[in-house]
Amino acid sequence: MIKLILVTISIFIIPGAAVGLYSGAINLSNNSQIFNPLLTGVFLGVLLYLLFLRKWEAFNVFEHEFTHAIVALCFFRKVKKFVVTKRSGGYVSYSPGFGGEFANAIITLAPYFLPTFTIFAIILRNFVPLNWFPWYDGFTGLTFGYHLLSNFDEIRQNWNKKTFYLAGTSTTSHTDIGKYGYISAFFVICAATLFIHGLIVWGFTAKSSGILTYLKIIYQYATIMYNYLLNAVILLFEFVKSHFN
């Protein structure tokens, strides 16, 4: 049931989040003081990943498991184990609790849509000295460029139902996506990716007022989609009623 609810919410979020992300990106591009260093950083982050970080397996495993752990802590879960190895992957185990199955789903899929280092960089942006700019925005863009490719690679590598041994154990498991299911994971990851990236872009564009604008766009398109679906169901019902009575 939770999967169905999450997929339904995701379907309603995706159109508005996509439009809002595009609008926010256009607005941000008009602010060259922030956009130029960010874009430069994204380019450097992509190069850094392709030339070096992609081959650093331990770092990528750490980032993946770190994201699981951070999101688990956000749901007030206790992280029981945090294991990272150089060649055998890693895993995180956490306690059950707040959020139930909804939280479990978000924790499971978080590494595939959450740009963790970028989120931390944006949070710290409000506290760094002014003379750190525009270099700090370049660094933020670098983390974003890293996540753009690393998240995509993680999805590609884990889009299967193969079994493997958890690092250092004799316990077998499936990948996060394999456990959650392809269809459900697809919609949740798409919606969450668009939503999170839209929040980042609008946060840079106009901070809290921009985020409110972004949420209004999502609500507007979700309402339009709901009305279209409702009208389609009514028309289908009337069609069936007129032909079978």
Residue 107 belongs to a domain: yes
Give the pTM: 0.90
Taking CA atoms, 148 is separated from 46, 49, 53, 69, 104, in Å, by: 8, 10, 13, 20, 24
Residue 125 belongs to a domain: yes
Q: Rounded to the nearest 5 degrees, what angle is found at the Cα of 56, between the Cα atoms of 52 and 57?
A: 145
- DSSP state for residue 77 in the 8-state scheme: -
Range of the domain at 117: 2-235
Residue 183 belongs to a domain: yes
Residue 245 belongs to a domain: no
Q: How far apart are CA 205 and CA 33, in angstroms?
A: 11
Residue 240 belongs to a domain: no
Report the number of distinct structural domains present in the chain: 1
Residue 118 belongs to a domain: yes
Say what the pLDDT of residue 89 is: 85
Question: Per-residue pLDDT for 206 more than 70?
Answer: no
Residue 100 belongs to a domain: yes
Question: In which band, very low, low, confident or very high, does the pLDDT at 170 lie, cut at 50, 70 and 90?
Answer: confident
* pLDDT, mean over the chain: 90
Residue 243 belongs to a domain: no
In the block, residue with structure tokens 């379907």: 11
- Mean pLDDT along residues 126-154: 94
